[in-house]
Amino acid sequence: MVGTQAYAVLLQAEIDGFPPVRLAFAWISKPSTEVRVLLGQINFFQEFDVHFYGSQKAFEIALKTV
């Protein structure tokens, strides 16, 4: 990733039923022959507790617990 331009954006996001939170996203731009690579939703898992149920192919999102 050396020499590759990186981008970031802060958004106010609202998931149905939860109060709005600020989420940060970052990605890099590769040469045009390759797709952009998303580095991550940087703080999503700091704002929400997410429970994955692999056998049911489902997940739940809850407000973070303190």
Nearest to 8 by CA among 16, 21, 22, 18: 22
pLDDT at 7: 84
- Region label for 56, one of left (φ > 0), alpha (ψ between -120 and 50) or beta (otherwise): alpha
pLDDT in tens, 6-35: 888 899 989 888 999 998 888 777 655 555
Average pLDDT estimate for 42-56: 90
Query: Domain spans of the chain?
Result: 6-63
E strands, 1-66, in order: 6-13, 21-28, 37-41, 48-53, 58-63
pLDDT at 60: 94
- Region label for 40, one of left (φ > 0), alpha (ψ between -120 and 50) or beta (otherwise): left
